[in-house]
Chains A and B, each alone.
Chain A
Amino acid sequence: MSQAKANFVYQCCHLNFSYAGQERPEKVLSGIDLEVKAGDFICLTGPSGSGKSTLLNLFGLIEPPQEGELLFDGQNLKGLSEATLNHLRRFRIGYIFQDFQLIDVLSVEENVEFFLTRQKIPAKQRMELVGQALQEVGLWEHRSKRPGQLSGGQKQRVAIARALAKRPQVVIADEPTASLDHKTGRQIMERLESINKSSGVTIVLASHDPMVLEFGVREVRLKDGAIIKEAGGQIHAG
């Protein structure tokens, strides 16, 4: 059993994961040992099927760990109740999706505000947080617009604002630049890098895009479910 260490957001120990195959289980993660420190900016890279999305899902607490151990903020995730997991997702994790996943019937401001209301934050404080987050991503002027009135880059910035406004411990970003052109993708990465540096929020993203490696990220490269390379950023031995 791994020792819970202070200041580590994630600690993976011999983490294995399989999906039910047609004939036998299909192993997608094999013996992952990885530690993610608070304030890290990590990029999971690797070809399709390498297991980066599964690892990201495990970090996002939307996939339950199977074999091995996964500690989130020192807490073993195995066996946690659905209510506890929901609470952690609601308060501690912000999600950024490849295709933005904004709620198209709500305005930009309401999209950012939505999860804050679910955190039961008082209205005044909520509006302050929404304002801060939208100003951070440069979309305050667009707050009344609906997502359908925004460009792809702007939508992704709303998604970033939505994730940040929750004041999460970790932001999980799944291919955040994949739906954007190169220039916009770069702007989004610049924004994430800046947020990581200024707020110290831990960011874990998965990406195919080699451009993301230009942003001082700690790269964790996976192949066939195993880590084959860790480079850049501040590396922490498992």
Chain B
Amino acid sequence: MLAKFAFRNIQRNRRRSLVAITTIAIGVFGLLFLQGFFSGLIALHKENSIHSRFGHGQIMTKGYWGQAFEKPWEHWIEEPEKVMDMLKKTPHVQAVFPRVQFFALISNGRINVAGRGQGIVGAIEKDFFNKMNFISGGPIAEKADGLVLGVGLAKALGVKVGEPLTVMGQTVNGTINAIDTTVVGIFQVGMKEADDMLFQVQLDQAQILLDTEKLESITLGLEDERYWGSVAEAVTLAFPLNEAISVYVLDQVWAENGEKFLNALLNIFRLVFLGMILLAIYNSASNTVLERKRELGMLRANGESAKDLIQLLVLEGIYLALAGAVLGGVLTLLANFVVRDGLPMPPTPGTNRELPVKLDLQAVYFMSAMGLACVAAVGATLLSTLQVLRLSIVKAIRSH
């Protein structure tokens, strides 16, 4: 009966209830839209990082990552085949990609430009690393002397697909070496430092250039990101001299810092929307208490305690919050349908590529936004109904 009474009460002043519900709906919509947008943005950049450069993570020797060494190859993985065999048998590992990385000069015969080279197995990388965004040509694939390079580097060298380039570098023994390659693709992954510096050649070509058979790292492609923890644990347990570094660490700009930054921003917006909802409910509940003083007095005279009345009013606030939250959720779904192809966004900081951001709406976001609206409703109603505790029954009954 109390629930029915509370439900009917919100229909007393329909305009006021509608204003409260609309305000809550806008708050919930704003919260969900922003959360979906930020989450979509993070997911997009993370997906881009995973499938253009880093995979889900990489295996390196312990302490190698983030350090500068005079002779880095001395710290590369010993007996990488064993590690790769183990990884290939590990559940949820989709593919393993052996790699080396080195610095070299690239020459077109007229000018030399310094770049960061990667030796990769083109044939096995082409499917997984499908977000390199080739603006000309394509991946190295099986092309033995193929080379792909970032758009900035290509511009600096003034090369096009099909043209020859010579890569000059230092072998592990300190001598100068060179390999002849042909440009097969120009990519724009969107990360400026990669697009201006990075180039890739076949792994065996890179190993000839460096005169080594060692591997610097083994990049991992998993069935899903959530398996990273178990795979990383398995490999470090089996090979304690190595460590597994996730894409979060490898691509701190977006995968880690970006997520932290956007979450911090989201929390600020959460506070703003929470304030909006608090005000909407507070205003509605305060007016309700004021207008229904006599009725509240009558209820008290018939044995309802102040706690009972607060319970009734809080229930009304929760109904308003739920109605507003549901409406806000529906609005968000509508908006998601309208922008289903993604919101065209200019390049984000540190990137040089426009990416259409799709809303990443998850059930947990809806639950948390609705939960937040209900918590705000309970808080605001409690605040506004505190006066009920001080309500003199006689004065309430006689009030006009």
Chain A interfacial positions (CB closer than 8 Å to B): 57, 60, 62-63, 82-83, 86-91, 93-95, 97, 101, 103-106, 110, 113-115, 117-118, 166
- Give the distance in Å from the alpha carbon of A113 to the alpha carbon of B2 in the complex: 11
Quick one: given A106-B5, A110-B1, are A115 and B295 in contact (CB under 8 Å)? no
CB pair A105–B11 under 8 Å, yes or no, is yes
Q: Mark B291-315, 1 if CB is under 8 A from A, else 0.
A: 0001100101111111010000000
Which of A60, A103, A117 makes the CB contact (< 8 A) with B295?
Answer: A103
Residues of B within 8 A of A97 (CB): 298, 397
CB pair A105–B12 under 8 Å, yes or no, is yes
Residues of A within 8 A of B308 (CB): 118
13 further interface pairs, Cβ-Cβ under 8 Å (given A62-B301, A86-B305): A87-B303, A88-B303, A89-B301, A90-B304, A95-B302, A97-B397, A105-B11, A106-B5, A106-B8, A113-B1, A114-B1, A117-B1, A118-B302
Q: Within the complex, what minimum Cβ distance (angstroms) separates A175 from chain B?
A: 12
CB pair B304–A118 under 8 Å, yes or no, is yes
The 11 listed contacts between A and B (C-beta, < 8 Å) are: A62-B300, A62-B301, A62-B394, A83-B305, A86-B303, A86-B305, A90-B303, A101-B294, A106-B4, A114-B1, A118-B303
Number of A-B contacts (CB under 8 A): 64
B9 within 8 A of A: yes
CB pair A101–B298 under 8 Å, yes or no, is yes
CB pair B304–A86 under 8 Å, yes or no, is yes
- Give the distance in Å from the alpha carbon of A104 to the alpha carbon of B8 in the complex: 10
Chain B interfacial positions (CB closer than 8 Å to A): 1-2, 4-5, 8-9, 11-12, 294-295, 298, 300-306, 308, 393-394, 397
- Give the distance in Å from the alpha carbon of A63 to the alpha carbon of B301 in the complex: 10
**Smallest CB gap from B11: residue in A:** A105
CB pair B393–A103 under 8 Å, yes or no, is no
Q: Within the complex, what minimum Cβ distance (angstroms) separates A6 from chain B?
A: 25
- Give the distance in Å from the alpha carbon of A114 to the alpha carbon of B303 in the complex: 12
CB pair B298–A90 under 8 Å, yes or no, is no
Q: Within the complex, what minimum Cβ distance (angstroms) separates A74 from chain B?
A: 20
Q: Within the complex, what minimum Cβ distance (angstroms) separates B388 from chain A?
A: 13
CB pair A95–B301 under 8 Å, yes or no, is yes
- Give the distance in Å from the alpha carbon of A113 to the alpha carbon of B302 in the complex: 13
CB pair B302–A89 under 8 Å, yes or no, is yes
- Give the distance in Å from the alpha carbon of A82 to the alpha carbon of B303 in the complex: 10
Which of A86, A87, A114 makes the CB contact (< 8 A) with B5?
Answer: A114
CB pair B302–A90 under 8 Å, yes or no, is yes
CB pair A115–B397 under 8 Å, yes or no, is no
Residues of B within 8 A of A83 (CB): 305
- Give the distance in Å from the alpha carbon of A57 to the alpha carbon of B394 in the complex: 7
Residues of B within 8 A of A115 (CB): 302-303
CB pair A105–B302 under 8 Å, yes or no, is no
Point out which of A57, A101, A113, A115 has the most chain B C-beta atoms below 10 A from its C-beta.
A101
Which of B1, B2, B303 makes the CB contact (< 8 A) with A89?
Answer: B303
- Give the distance in Å from the alpha carbon of A113 to the alpha carbon of B1 in the complex: 9
4 interchain residue pairs of minimum CB distance: A90-B303, A105-B8, A89-B303, A117-B1
CB pair B303–A105 under 8 Å, yes or no, is no
